[in-house]
Amino acid sequence: MENIKGKVIAITGASSGIGEAIARHLSGLGAKVVLGARRLAKLETIANDIVNKGGQVVYKKLDVTQPDDVKDFVNFAIGEFNTIDVFINNAGLMPLSMINAYKVDEWHKMIDVNIKGVLHGIAAALPVFEEKDSGQFINITSVGDRWVGPTSTVYSATKFAVRAISEGLRQEVSDNIRVTIVAPGATESELAETISDPELKKVAIEQFRVNLLPAEAIARAVAYAISQPSEVDVNELVVRPTAQKAY
């Protein structure tokens, strides 16, 4: 694939699921990957695997809810690899619940990670992209960035927000900075673990988390967007399991 080898690509939420798959896939295509998440031991294991396969990787503990942490993550990447070419806002939570369960703390957590975390990523990486007048944001949203149903209200709201932020950002930045959203359907990962209501978790897993895509499928979509020539900005990619029809 063109335009990936040698690029420095920072990935938030790289310790499991889609972020991990993106890291492994892009590294296999020759990118220098920078992994961030809170679970350092998981990052270490993934990084060791990548190194054993001949890849170039560094990792750092990262909490995207803390703006200074995200700035430090970007500075760390630059210190290790001299620049950043792509910043992937992937970290996210999905504690689904009905509004009248009043899980206000979980609403706050989703807003903090899924929306503010993305804004912190933009605030940290955009100055680097503006300075060199090139770069690419890839924001991992969800089919929930355009669909909402019972229990997904707040989660979908966070993803609608990221879609809006991405579209506004795309229009505001220079002609040489790309902004892409990748919106996955149901994909293998640890995401359902964030549902705190055991009954709801069971229903979500039985009804919605079926026919799951391998996380690698989303990694391939990310690679496609990066691999385009710099004057081609793939704005949105929606990737569902073929059998996922209703949402």
Which residues are catalytically annotated? Answer: 155
By CB under 6 A, residue 113 contacts ligand NDP: yes
CA distance 52 to 93: 30
Least Å distance, CB 38 to ligand NDP, is 3
Which one of 35-43, 75-83, 221-229, 238-246 is the stretch in contact with ligand NDP (CB under 6 A)?
35-43
What is the sign of the dihedral through the CA atoms of 109, 112, 115 and 120? negative
Using CB under 6 A, pick the residue from 190, 202, 205, 230 that binds ligand NDP: 190
Least Å distance, CB 123 to ligand NDP, is 15
By CB under 6 A, residue 63 contacts ligand NDP: yes
CA distance 89 to 183: 12
Is the Cβ of residue 8 or residue 138 nearer to ligand NDP in the bound state? Answer: 138
Is the Cβ of residue 47 or residue 191 nearer to ligand NDP in the bound state? Answer: 191
33 close to 21: Cβ distance less than 8 angstroms: no
42 close to 64: Cβ distance less than 8 angstroms: no
By CB under 6 A, residue 12 contacts ligand NDP: yes
By CB under 6 A, residue 62 contacts ligand NDP: yes
Burial of 190-222, coded b for 16+ CB within 10 Å and e otherwise, reads ebbebbebeebbeebeeebbeebbebebbbebb
Is the Cβ of residue 17 or residue 55 nearer to ligand NDP in the bound state? Answer: 17
CA distance 139 to 122: 10
Least Å distance, CB 76 to ligand NDP, is 14
Using CB under 6 A, pick the residue from 34, 88, 93, 181 that binds ligand NDP: 93
Is the Cβ of residue 18 or residue 34 nearer to ligand NDP in the bound state? Answer: 18
Q: How open is the CA angle 32-13-60, to the nearest 5 degrees? A: 60
CA distance 168 to 189: 29
Is the Cβ of residue 68 or residue 190 nearer to ligand NDP in the bound state? Answer: 190
By CB under 6 A, residue 108 contacts ligand NDP: no
By CB under 6 A, residue 152 contacts ligand NDP: no
Contacting positions for ligand NDP (CB under 6 A): 12-19, 37-39, 42, 62-65, 90-94, 113, 140, 142, 184, 186-187, 189-191
